[in-house]
Structure 1
Amino acid sequence: MKLSDLQPGQSGQVVALNGLSVEVRKKLMVMGVLPATRVTVIRHAPMGDPLQIEVRGVSIAVRESIAAAIEVECGQ
Structure 2
Amino acid sequence: MQTSLDDNYVAYELNAYIRNPSAKQPIASEMHSHIQDIIRKDNIEILSPHYRANRDGTAIAIPAPAEGSN
TM range (shorter): under 0.3
Q: Which has the larger radius of gyration?
A: 2
Which structure ranks higher in relative contact order (CA pairs < 8 Å, sequence separation ≥ 6)?
1
The structure carrying a bigger helix percent of its residues is 2
Q: If the length of structure 2 is used for normalisation, what is the TM-score?
A: 0.23
Q: If the length of structure 1 is used for normalisation, what is the TM-score?
A: 0.22
The structure carrying a bigger strand percent of its residues is 1
